[in-house]
Amino acid sequence: MDIDYLKLKEKYNTPLYVYDKSVINDKIHKLKDNFKSNLYKTEIIYASKAFSVKEMLRVIMDKGLSLDTVSIGEIYTAINVGFDLNKIYFHGNNKSYDDLVFALNNNVGTIVVDNYMELLLLDEVAKSLNKVQKIMIRLNLGIEAHTHKYIVTSHVDSKFGVLYNSDDYKNMINFINNSNNIKLIGFHSHIGSQIFELDAYKAEIEKLIRISKEFSYPLELNLGGGFGAFYTNEDKPIPLDEVAKFLVKTTDEVLNKENAKIAKLLIEPGRSIVAEAGTTLYTIGVIKKTPNKEYYFIDGGMTDNIRPALYQAKYDAFIVGKENDERSHTVTIAGKCCESGDLIIEDYKLPPATSGDLLVTKTTGAYGYAMSSNYNKALTPAVVFVDEDNDYLVVKRQSLKELIEREI
Ligand code: LLP
């Protein structure tokens, strides 16, 4: 969809997160239409950590997806929009007693248990509240997907999950067999993020199905998320319809080969649903030349997009109204933080700019706004959704008053 960024700047000012709702809908439909099997049920869970604001959760709810949460803050946001709590999965490697009480009191459907200590704590909480809690166990299958090293989660020393067949694993299964308050419905695994190779998922499916055969009843298997998005030409993401078809086909084949049955197959994408729907609109201020560089300074930076500083993530950008001009300048787009690493794109070709031009960075919809901060006391930007010709505010820009309202 063509977005009128000049109009959005007039109306909402910059820096501004802009989400194209048609892209979100399209991604969801590509998954929904193809993640289906005759052999078992299927379920798509949106990983809300990628972008969890009320309007986004409403979209997810309208489309009938479930929700992955990792904190009571994310659960609280879901409760606030009236999300069906039964469709919520609660993750996390260090859930506290209070977290678990909050989740169980609010009837969160499934707790994804990360470790043995958590299982004991959960049993205690469930017993005291007189509940039987459905759980999945998060397994570390030791599969390392090919991706950026900071976001790989499944190597053997990962902080996430329990290693299959370790003593902790065996103790957990024994404990569950003797517990009246915990019901194991299946296993979860997440093998990384921004993955372009489907082979790793095949290995994951094979391992999970073999493990599930050790149980006398059909289990649910959650493959996690991690499907890649397109940021720059270096990225070759596989279209989501193909990803969904591959996962189902591979699962069907392995089930046949292993003569096994499962109750349900689940996936948990975050980035692949929202990343490409989001752009960030900035105003260029100062243009500075140094002996070897030309800088375009923008009115945001690492406080609204930490990913370049944290992961050396790459982005594409354009200047509004100069889309077809020759990209004759090699420039560095830098933010306004008091920090040399506050660069959004380094040594990048753009047309000559003048102060006041609008710059748009693309594919900022996942882990952008979600990871924003108030470093240097920057104000968190506003967020708008664009739906056909209609644009509407979904998060107000933070005000100076709000910035210090919790300070005493
Ligand atoms: N499920 C679990 C258990 C996860 O840990 C994650 C992401 C997802 C699902 C969703 O993964 P996705 O489909 O979005 O790749 N901040 C980093 C990404 C961290 C991902 C953490 N876990 C970034 O900006 O690249």
List domains and CATH numbers for the chain: 5-16+276-396 (2.40.37.10), 21-275 (3.20.20.10)
Ligand 1 atom nearest residue 226's Cα: 15
For 35-106, list the strands marked E by DSSP: 41-47, 66-69, 88-90
Given the residues 149, 338, 390, 400, the one annotated as active site: 338
Q: State residue 157's pLDDT score.
A: 83
pLDDT given for residue 81 in this prediction:
98
**Ligand 1 nearest atom to the CA of residue 310, by list position:** 24
pLDDT of res. 148: 47
Cβ count near 214 (within 10 Å): 9
Which residue out of 115, 152, 193 has the highest number of ligand 1 atoms within 8 Å of its CB and is therefore the one to mutate?
193
Inter-axis angle of helices 199-212 and 240-258, nearest 10: 40
**Residue 193, helix vs strand vs coil:** coil
What's the gap in Å between 387 CA and the centre of ligand 1? 26
> Whose CA is closest to 360, among 7, 12, 16?
16
Q: What is the pLDDT of residue 142?
A: 85
| Residue 337 is a catalytic residue | no
pLDDT along the chain (408 residues), means of 10: 94 98 98 98 98 98 98 98 98 98 98 98 98 98 65 69 95 98 97 89 95 97 97 95 98 98 98 98 98 98 98 97 98 97 98 98 98 98 95 98 98
| Cβ proximity of 298 and 285 under 8 Å | yes
Among 271, 311, 314, which residue has the most ligand 1 atoms within 8 Å of its CB, making it the best to mutate?
271
Q: How far is the CA of 218 from the centre of ligand 1 (A)?
A: 27
115: CB partners within 8 A, 6+ apart: 93, 161, 162, 168
pLDDT for position 149: 41
**203, 219, 271, 282, 388 from 16: Cα distances, Å:** 41, 44, 19, 7, 18
Main-chain dihedrals φ then ψ at residue 234, nearest 5 degrees: -70, -20
Instruction: Quote the pLDDT of residue 156.
Output: 78
Kindly give the distance from the C-alpha atom of residue 274 to the centroid of ligand 1, in angstroms, as a whole number. Answer: 12
Rounded to an integer, what distance in angstroms lies between the CA atom of residue 204 and that of residue 190?
A: 9
Q: Ligand 1: distance of its center to the CA of 103 in Å?
A: 21
Residue 284: predicted pLDDT:
98
- Give φ, ψ of 145 to 5 degrees: -75, 150
Q: DSSP 3-state assignment of 274?
A: helix
Identity at 80, one-letter amino acid code: N
Q: What is the pLDDT of residue 147?
A: 56
